[in-house]
Structure 1
């Protein structure tokens, strides 16, 4: 779609730089995985050094359906991005045939405070989530990791495969999903992309055979047991929504792993992988204090031994959304894509 404007955008109003609006298809078409990986890595670096800022966030409970509204504000100086993602998590939508999580992202010009762009959020979330996992794998997995294990075979499985292919020399993908149709569709996609694929009998087989394991389900109860972790495994725990009673990894898995979080305050406020073991008294907060950005900058140790199990607990951060959205908006302006709206 070419760049267009609404009827109110005339004459001198052009100088007001109206809001750029990008829909789902436009956002998805402008996302480049390699660029997003680099931007997410830079955003976490900036968070470690103080060049990125994000306030403490608090989920707002909405009436009627256990829904949450989660504002995720952030500014990342090196990338020239600032803005807010508004995320809703609505469990009842699963029965309505609607997305459980929905979002929009607003970018502002940090210098003038002008609202610069409004983006459909789902494609950004999907790609930046996989990019963050790939950054964690790059810095935490054993050298030579070649087998990618995926628990869950939906859209995140596809983006995680694409992201990890850029940071690992993959030989094989081992995948499992509750849905045979979903796992078969993923396997066909991966094979068409040139990867060897093994469809596992269950989560245990995936965990035991993987060098890098990505858990990509919205599970409330643990699907993955720490007893299955073999020495040297790296885990990206991704799928559980930001709710303190949801988790994919059991307490044993957390205790056995060197845990790296995207943000300590966010993880301690929203992640079941963190809060449930803490409530059980199985571990202390110190187990979760290492942030991914500090590993990237060398302020903290990541993997300390070849046989150590590392685990990246991904909750999702505004700095990731803003970094990816900045890339999208810049590309849209270069290519003349989107709709201009003058709200004044």
Structure 2
């Protein structure tokens, strides 16, 4: 039987802490060879802006393989539709049987914020207590929830081009993290200058953060850009600053080199090299690289998003749903 799980089935099913633990364990498995993370190129047609991104991850310890198809279609905004939609399929790693089909929105949001949380846990300065978020959409909310839970934060500094989105974020967080104060910032620079940990979670085509604003000891998570090399949230100097400190970390080197606009522009400008993008988060989580070694390092996590994260959160969501009797059971081969 195959379990069908809708967005409403998945919402609120697991906690951010549970997701972070699952994602961290998956990265550790990858470092030890108990998981696999292949890279697949997005499918595009000449002259069309739409792209379709396949993401696959094999989680040996979880006994499953996950495959997600992410549709990234900017023109959907004019149709009143989300620019990104996805579906996640889980199969048994032993016999290949289809285990579940999930709407992709909730798993994607949860695993993206969890990967940031894990990266921040390993790369940020111990004892950090000020968080800044550039962007105020659903991904910003997921990050604020995850990192507030990680550190017990009482406030988050937020910048967005729209005051309305900040107000929506404030209302969302009032329900999800009671007592967390959302402070609107006047500019991205104000966020960076006031925060020890910064998350960029926007679909920007132009840099919102400049390396000249960074100071020793900061950690930055560049997360929001879609998997397109014509989008970027940080300038080349941000990545060069991390490289010079020894801690520019990516979730997947092939994905970063092919899909990250932040990295593509920095490479084109000669600020970094492809070799500078070779340190993957799995190596840090798995203890193969020490991560941060002093309080003055500037650290950057460039996140594209990978199938292994989907596999980890998919396993967690499927187990929780089945324990609660959620979802519809069908036989696909009937």
Q: 1:299 to 1:123 in 2, by over 3 A?
A: same
Cα deviation, 1:253-291, whole Å, max 9, x if unaligned, reads 111113100011111111111121111212112221111
Q: TM-score, normalised by structure 1?
A: 0.92
Maintained 8 Å contact 2:64/2:91: yes
| Corresponding residue to 2:220 among 214, 220, 235 | 235
Distance in structure 2 (CA, Å) of the matches to 1:213 and 1:160: 10
Q: TM-score, normalised by structure 2?
A: 0.94
Q: 1:63 to 1:31 in 2, by over 3 A?
A: farther
Q: Secondary structure at the match of 1:92?
A: helix
- Cα distance, 1:65 vs structure 2: 3.8
The question of 1:130 aligning with 2:113 is answered yes
Maintained 8 Å contact 2:200/2:221: yes
Aligned residues: 327
Q: Secondary structure at the match of 1:201?
A: coil
- Give 5+ residue unaligned stretches, structure 2: none
The question of 1:336 aligning with 2:329 is answered no
The list of structure 1 runs, each at least 4 consecutive aligned residues, that deviate by more than 3 angstroms after superposition, is 62-65, 188-192
- Give 5+ residue unaligned stretches, structure 1: 1-17
Cα deviation, 1:186-227, whole Å, max 9, x if unaligned, reads 234445621233210010100110111000000111111111
| Corresponding residue to 1:310 among 289, 293, 299 | 299
- Provide the residue aligned with 1:8 in structure 2: none
- Cα distance, 1:148 vs structure 2: 0.7
Distance in structure 2 (CA, Å) of the matches to 1:338 and 1:313: 34
The question of 1:200 aligning with 2:185 is answered yes
| Aligned-residue CA RMSD (Å) | 1.4
- Cα distance, 1:168 vs structure 2: 1.6
- List aligned pairs for 1:170-185, cutoff 5 A: 170-185=153-168
| Corresponding residue to 1:99 among 74, 82, 106 | 82
Q: Please say which structure displays the higher CA radius of gyration.
A: 1
| Corresponding residue to 2:209 among 212, 224, 227 | 224
Q: Secondary structure at the match of 2:74?
A: coil
- List aligned pairs for 1:190-339, cutoff 5 A: 190=173, 193-257=178-242, 258-339=247-328
Distance in structure 1 (CA, Å) of the matches to 2:67 and 2:46: 23
- List aligned pairs for 1:138-157, cutoff 5 A: 138-157=121-140
Q: Secondary structure at the match of 1:112?
A: coil
Q: Secondary structure at the match of 1:236?
A: strand
- Provide the residue aligned with 2:19 in structure 1: 36
